[in-house]
Structures are given as structure tokens and as C-alpha cells.
Structure 1
Amino acid sequence: MSAALEIVRVPVLADNYAWLIHDPASAETVAVDPGEAQPLLDAAAQRGWTIGQVWTTHWHPDHTGGNAAMRAAGARITGPAAEAAKIPTLDVTVGEGDTVRIGDHVADVWHVPGHTAGHIAFHLRDDGVVFTGDTLFAMGCGRLFEGDAAQMYGNMRRYAALPDDTRVYCGHEYTQSNGRYARVAEPDNQAIAERLAEVDALRARGEATVPTTIGLERATNPFLRAGSAEALAKFRAAKDAFKG
């Protein structure tokens, strides 16, 4: 069995998280969604790691802004084929059904449109890990900039089918604001109330609230719990206007 991956959260920009994935067996390191390069290069160097790959979930600059510098430092950039025209730094393009690798660890590429038209996620099935970019967040989902609620609902159903202990690595520290809306969306859900209290305490200490797990999202995320695309659309419209 392959050695466990090491995954490091790296804050970038205002509220983004990029991720370093390191495989001790092969000594390979991947950066996921580097909105800026230097924090990841520094975090890798502190650990004696060299970033050889970048996995990009979508074209937005806060997820791709570091790609050029990463490429100049020797990394191979992989991202969604459907958004290649918007990500000129790509060396490898992938889509639904493709795979990417770090050492002996294999990630399935999922097409998860809605936030952007070509958005992808990376699911390392054997490791119980999924990198969701700006689709599934802790207690929330991404805004529908280039797609519709039916697409995002399909994504949520796909994520919800994963095992409860699957760890979810998303692209932003949005949990507190998502949780405040979730309390309004499901006022009788005690699990949401308890989780929001935990999140508030973490944020008061300046601590991160992700990664999360599919099981926790299934209990407390209104978008993952939505029973239909129409219900998700109502939640999304309400969250977009939410001021709490």
C-alpha cells in the first residue's frame, strides 16, 4: 500500500487556500490552485520539497495567479481542457474521466461545472481525498457565475455519494459566513448550530476551518442537503443576497 500523502494548507491572497500534496515515497510534490506562487514555494522549501506539478481546478485568477511563476520554477501545469483558452500557462489539459498522478497515487478528474463552465475537481479515491476548488465549500457551494443550479445540484449529488470520511479540500475560508446563512436556511438543524459555534471559536483564534469531510457536510451544508435543483437555486439566490 502506498504511503499516506502529506497535505499542507497554504493561505494565499485575502481568503484563499492553496494546497501542497507531498508523496513521501516518490518525493513528488503537487501544488493545487496557487493564487500566488511565493507562499507555496516558501512552504515547500521549508520542508525540503520541490514542486513538480500544479493542479488547477478553474481559470479564475485567484486560483491561477501563481501558475507562471511555478512553471518558471520547473513545475508542469495541469488544468481543465475546457478552460485552456483562459489559462495560457497550461502544459497538460484534462477533463472528465482523465486521471493525474502523484507517485503511485491516482486522482480521478471530475467535470463539475456551475461556478465556471469547465471547472474540475481532483478525487484521490484510494486516499479518501477530494480537491473541490470553488464548487463544494465547508457549509456552502460556489456562486453560479457560468452555469446553473441544475449543474451545481449534480455536483452536490456526486460529492454526497462519497464516503463520509472523505476529506474535502476547498479553495476559500468561507465557513463562518456560510454557516451564518446555513442557520437561516435550516433554523431547526441543531448540527448546524453546533458547528457554527465551533467555527466561530476557531475563527476567533485565527484558526482555519478546512479541510472538512463529506459526512460533516452531509449533516450541515444546505447545498449538499438540497433535495432538488430548485431547492438549491433558492438557497443560492438567498445566500447571494444574505447580509448576516
Structure 2
Amino acid sequence: MIQVISVPAFTDNYIWLITNEQRQFAAVVDPGDAQPVIEELQRRNMSPVAILITHHHRDHTGGIEKLLEAYPGLPVYGPASEYIAHMTRALGEGQQVVLEELGLSFTVMDVPGHTAGHIAYYGEDSLFCGDTLFGCGCGRVFDGTLGDLHQSLQRIAQLPAETLVYCTHEYTVDNIGFAKWVEPDNAALAVRLQSCWELLDSGRATVPFTLGDEFDTNPFLRTHIPEVIVKAEEIAGRETHTPADIFAVLRIWKDTEYD
């Protein structure tokens, strides 16, 4: 059975250690910084078996080299269409990552948008999605496109509602603030905000969360909801004709007015 350990890094990043009930081995997801990972592995007397990368940004890849110095020979998985230093196994849509020591496997999903080659790892009712989907939000568009990101989020939305989402930043409370701009009368946002503050006040993360939480509160997955459509048209000053159009209006609005 999968177990996941969070390793905080920088100001708001999470590096994930995928392990199992025995907790002898772990796969490391998006290690932007090696030191906290090494310290956590040593503290728990665990050995890493792989590094899984979702995209090329430095806060997700910066620790690879030092991890390989500490643990030579680790396979480094990552997106085939992006350059990742030290990557040994390039991955694309539908490929499998089998972690034999853990008895776990994951399917690769192409989820471009935040970056052009972004991938995610899905399996064991869990999604490791990097910076594509956040709690109550989504990533900015860098070298991908708004259309790509919308399509990627729609693909993620087809996964089961009970899927646990492991994104890599603690952005949920801030994102709820924007979601309230979009849907001020959505009662689920107030409930989620209270839950998030209770978690944070007790020293816990708001991540992971279920995909079902996102269906109720994330405006970027609610582009079919009448209230969201009305708000997008109000902001755009025109009619919106497709969910992708509504998504683009919201993402640009957040980029220019909220962040």
C-alpha cells in the first residue's frame, strides 16, 4: 500500500517521498533541494530507489545532482520533451514507471501547459502533478499554452473523484482567495478555507487533497458552472463561447489582477 511523506523545501515547495508500509525504500518526486531529502531519508533509515521529475523548473530539479552524489546510480525519470540534467529514463504519455522495491507502479500522463513537456504520475489512487493543478488553482503558463493547460486539467478531471492530488506548492489558501472573486456565493469555499486554516494551524499541509474537493471549489475545473461563466463574461466584457475561452479569461485575470 502506498504511503507518501512530505518534505518541505524553500518557502512553499513540497518534495514527495513515495514509499510503502515497510518504509525501507522511497522514490523522490521533484527534489528541488537535496539536503532536506537526504536528512529525511537518513532520519527514517530509508534508501531511495528512483527520482521522478514532472518538469524542468529549477525548484523541481535543483537537488538531482547532489542526490546522485549521495546515492550513485539512482534512475532519474522525467519528461521526454524537456531537458533534465542527469535524466536517464525519458517518459511520455501512457508509459509505466514500475518501482519494484515498493511494489508500486504509475502511469505517465502528458499534461503540458505550465511547461510545454510537463508530465504527471498517476497510480495507487494518487496523482503527482507537479505544477499543473494546485489546491483550488492551477499553474501559470510559462513555455506551454493556455489551451494546453486547459486540456491537461480536463484530462485530470476525468480521474476518479477520490484521487489524492500531490501538487508541489502550498498555495491553497491564497488560491481560495481568488476563487472567492470568481464565485463569492460558493459556500464550499468557506468550508474549505476553514479546513485549510485548521490544517495549517496544526502544522500540517493542505496537500494532498482529493480531486473531488477541486470539483467543488476550483474555478479552473468549474468552467461549465453558470456562475463561473457569468463572471468570466463580466471580466472579459464579452460573451465566452467555450470552456477553454472561459479558462483563459480566468487565468489571465488571476495573472494580471490577483497574483
- Normalised by the length of structure 2, the TM-score is 0.87
- State the distance in 2 between where 1:217 and 1:69 align: 35
The aligned counterpart of 1:184 is 181
Q: How does 1:194-205 map to 2 (within 5 A)?
A: 194-205=191-202
Shift of the alpha carbon at 1:206? 4.2
Residue 92 (1) aligns with residue 89 (2): yes
Counterpart residue type for residue 153 of structure 2: M
Shift of the alpha carbon at 1:24? 4.3
- State the distance in 1 between where 2:125 and 2:184 align: 31
Which stretch has the larger CA shift, 192-201 or 74-83?
Answer: 192-201
- State the distance in 1 between where 2:197 and 2:126 align: 25
Residue 232 (1) aligns with residue 229 (2): no
Counterpart residue type for residue 162 of structure 2: D
Cα pair 2:113 2:150 within 8 Å, conserved:
no
Shift of the alpha carbon at 1:224? 1.5
List per-residue Cα deviations over 1:169-193 (Å, max 9, x = no partner). Answer: 0010011110100011111211012
- State the distance in 2 between where 1:203 and 1:232 align: 29
Q: How does 1:1-244 map to 2 (within 5 A)?
A: 4-24=1-21, 27-72=24-69, 73-74=71-72, 75-84=74-83, 87-103=84-100, 104-124=103-123, 127-227=124-224, 228-243=243-258
- State the distance in 1 between where 2:244 and 2:141 align: 13
- State the distance in 1 between where 2:111 and 2:38 align: 28
- State the distance in 1 between where 2:13 and 2:22 align: 29
Secondary structure of the corresponding residue to residue 219 of structure 1: helix
- Normalised by the length of structure 1, the TM-score is 0.92
- State the distance in 1 between where 2:89 and 2:2 align: 23
Q: Which runs of 5+ in 2 are unaligned?
A: 225-242
Cα pair 1:28 1:102 within 8 Å, conserved:
no
Shift of the alpha carbon at 1:27? 4.0
Secondary structure of the corresponding residue to residue 82 of structure 1: coil
- State the distance in 2 between where 1:153 and 1:137 align: 13
Which stretch has the larger CA shift, 22-31 or 221-230?
Answer: 22-31
1:123–1:194 Cα change, 3 Å: same
List per-residue Cα deviations over 1:27-83 (Å, max 9, x = no partner). Answer: 431000001011111112221211121000000000000011112222221111101
- State the distance in 1 between where 2:81 and 2:92 align: 7
- State the distance in 1 between where 2:55 and 2:48 align: 19
Counterpart residue type for residue 191 of structure 2: E
Aligned residues: CA RMSD:
1.6
Shift of the alpha carbon at 1:204? 4.2
- State the distance in 1 between where 2:188 and 2:221 align: 14
Percent identical: 41
